[in-house]
Structure 1
Amino acid sequence: MPRGHKNKRHARKKRHQTRGEAQACKGVQETVEEIPEAAEKSSAASQSQPGADSSSTPEAPERATPSASSTLSISSIESHESSFEESDEFQEKESPVEDQPCTIRPHQEMVAGKVIVLLQYLLHNYNLKQFTTKEDMLKLLTKKYEDDFPEIFRKASQKLEDAFAMEVREVNSSNPTYNLISKLKLPNNGRIRAGKGFPKTAFVMCVLGIILVKGNCASEEEIWQILKTKRIYPGKKHCIFGEPRKLLTHYLVKLNYLEYRQVAGSDPPRYEFLWGPKAYAETSKVKVLEYLAKTNQTTPGAISALYEEVLKGDREQTEARDEDN
């Protein structure tokens, strides 16, 4: 086969592969860039509550509900070096919009702000291992937004699902009460380690997606090459995922969500990741594709098509090598 045809085929395969990797990790990029403020502030909220329960079973103790004219403050995060498990102060801040009647702001923009407020509150109660009642959510949002509650609740739930792979599930219908549930059966409802913290489910789903797009096996170098573009670095604590190297190569391997093995014949040793038995037992390739598609606002077929193109390119390259031999 002419060398020019082989080069073009190889370049086309590389383009498809790169696009597939971007699809697989875009959800984590949104987690890192759009949600950490809510996550950080919700983590801060948890420890300030005296006597916060640290058991694994959520309870519903008496707690102060934010005042009608208050919203949770949102601080900007300049760096992702601090662990989300370290900051613990719940703060409220007067709403600059509601306290300034002359300020005109589109209603939908204000509703969008309330979505973030509710998201923070749900995460706050998650960190305290407490349920969240509909009554408390309505008090938080104020009577002014009572008619908008279904939309605000739906959008906040969707953001939590996209960012953390957590489902907002009703646990008591007689007195509407909700809890955040991990889409995988990770220990401590997605936190993995005992105590407070944010769920690692989205990280797991992303890594499973990378492995899937890479052809069911991804080298350690390939995993980190993609994660680094999303500001997730080995050995550096992340505000949501903690220390990612230990999470990737120790906890998830020990829990059998990932298989971590040496590349055959590699010297010096190189390592690669595959799906572990727990991943196959608790999810499927279709579900991972559906999750990635949802976070990327596309269809499972679009990601699947990219994956098929990568595999087709691999087969063509192998056939080309066979012809040359």
Structure 2
Amino acid sequence: MPRGQKSKLRAREKRRQAQEEQGDLSPQEGTSMGTTAAAASEETSDVGTSFQEGGSRSSQNPPVTEPFRRGPIDEKVVMMVHYMLYKYEMKEPISKGDMLRNVIQMYKNHFHEILRRASEYLELIFGLDLKEVDPNRHIYVLVNKLETTYDGMPGGEGSIPKTGLLMTVLGVIFTKGNCASEAEVWEVLNMMGIYDGRRHFIYGEPRKLITQDLVQENYLEYRQVAGSDPPCYEFLWGPRAHAETSKMKVLEFLAKIHDTTPSAFPVWYQEALKDEEERSQARAAARARNAARADARAKAKGSNSSRHFNKF
């Protein structure tokens, strides 16, 4: 990204934060979500390129954006993202020792900064969370934000997770009243450098991904708006999205993009809390039904055993 554009992004973000502190920013605006995610996307543009086609670098698929001049720490952040994605694909844990030896090397004093920035990009762009599973030995793993693994499009076209884009689309749907027009979804995706008809360095053909692949996977519902002429389309959460994530998790993802907390968006936060309560009640009711069935089976089994014993 040219320095001038990067400076504008930073200035715009500072203005947004100042407005938030003054209480003037409406959280209904999608601009800063797209802007912040786009900035992260720009810095990791070559990460997607090098992992296309099953992990091999392809000169036929150059990054969408032009590279910008990086300092040594920026380069280490990109290398760390490469390294962590490789470990994720290999289903291997990541140790601090390996990171220091294979990536950080002479920049050990900047380890925490590099790790933090790399983990933020992995979350925003790929939808992966970095979890420390062994604090004593400093062992980490990358965990998909969805409850079950969603590692990419069907058919083996690549193994880079598409969860980041999916969470973004789910966020747009949620913040637009649980039903977002196609135009509203593309407006946010365009701000992230993702355009209809233009192959993306990470997500491939975006229209096919969001209107076919994710629909077939039951993560999204894509339907024509009733009575629209010419036809217009809208997106809703699919049944698999309802099962594998929640409004609170999506709001936490959006809050991370804004560098704030879910409670900073009171209207959505209240809706997410209500959704969490309803989910908790549904789980409790399901447990009660299962317990009642198990108890009934146990009683029936005991009754059958008693009748069998009495025959003798």
Does TM-score exceed 0.5, indicating one fold? Answer: yes
1:216 corresponds in structure 2 to 178
Alpha-carbon separation, structure 1, partners of 2:104 and 2:177: 50
Asked whether 1:79 is paired with 2:64, we answer: yes
Alignment of 1:15-30 (within 5 A): 20-30=29-39
- Confirm or deny: 8 A CA contact 1:227 1:233 kept in the other structure: yes
Q: Check the 8 A contact 1:260/1:274 in 2, yes or no.
A: yes
Change (3 A) 1:26 1:174: same
Distance in 2, Cα, partners of 1:260 & 1:203? 16
8 Å contact from structure 1 (residues 220, 273) kept in 2: yes
The alpha-carbon distance between structure 1 residues 18 and 236, as it changes in their structure 2 partners (threshold 3 A), is farther
Which one of the candidate residues 276, 289, 293 is aligned to 2:251?
Answer: 289
The alignment partner of 2:56 has SS state of helix
Structure 2 alignment gaps of length 5 or more: 1-23, 271-312
Q: Tell me how far apart the structure 2 counterparts of residues 144 and 199 of structure 1 sit (CA, whole Å).
A: 30
The answer on 1:114 being equivalent to 2:76 is yes
CA distance in 2, matches of 1:206, 1:27: 12
Mapped to 1, the partners of 2:190 and 2:81 lie a distance apart of 27
How many residue pairs are counted as aligned between the two chains?
Answer: 239
Q: Secondary structure at the match of 1:297?
A: coil
- 1:192 equivalent in alignment to 2:171: no
CA 1:158–1:79 in structure 2 vs 1: closer, same or farther (change >3 Å)?
closer
1:266 maps to 228
Q: Which amino acid aligns with 1:230?
A: M
Counterpart pick for 1:278 among 224, 240, 261: 240
What displacement does 1:249 show? 1.0
Instruction: State whether residues 134 and 176 of structure 1, in contact with CA within 8 Å, keep that contact through their aligned partners in structure 2.
Output: yes
One-letter identity of the residue aligned with 2:260: T
1:234 deviation in Å? Answer: 2.0
Q: Displacement, 1:144?
A: 3.1
CA offsets 1:166-190 (integer angstroms, 9 cap, x no match):
0123567787554422101465x43
Whether 2:32 is the aligned partner of 1:47: answer no
1:300 aligned onto 2:262: yes
Q: What is the identity, as a one-letter code, of the residue corresponding to 1:261? A: R
Q: Deviation at 1:218?
A: 0.9
Pick closer, same or farther for the CA change 1:234–1:17 going to 2, 3 Å.
farther
- Cα distance in 2 between the residues matched to 1:278 and 1:288: 14
1:35-64: CA deviations, max 9, x gaps?
A: 21233235489337xxxxxxxxxxxxxxxx
Q: Which has the higher contact order (CA 8 A, sep 6+)?
A: 1
Q: Which residue of 2 aligns with 1:247?
A: 209
- Tell me which of 123, 132, 156 is aligned to 2:118: 156
| Percentage identity across paired residues of the two chains | 42
Distance 2:34 2:76 in 1: 27
- Structure 1 partner of 2:41: 32
Give the C-alpha shift of residue 161 in structure 1. Answer: 1.6
Deviation at 1:16, TM superposition (A): 7.8
The 8 Å contact of residues 39 and 123 in structure 1, kept in 2 or not, is answered as no
What is the CA–CA distance in structure 1 between the aligned matches of 2:185 and 2:132, rounded to whole Å? 36
Conservation of the 8 A alpha-carbon contact between 1:46 and 1:128? no
Q: CA–CA distance in 2 between the matches of 1:289 and 1:142?
A: 33
Q: Which amino acid aligns with 1:79?
A: V
* Cα RMSD after superposing both structures: 3.5
Residue among 83, 87, 96 paired with 1:134: 96
The TM-score, its normalising length taken from structure 1, stands at: 0.61
Tell me if the contact between 1:215 and 1:307 (Cα under 8 Å) persists in the aligned partners: no
- Residue 233 of structure 1 is matched in structure 2 by 195
| Range with greater deviation from structure 2 (123-132 or 275-284) | 123-132
In the alignment, the residues of structure 2 paired with residue 113 and residue 47 of structure 1 have an alpha-carbon distance, to the nearest angstrom, of: 19
Partner Cα distance (1:142, 1:290) in 2: 29
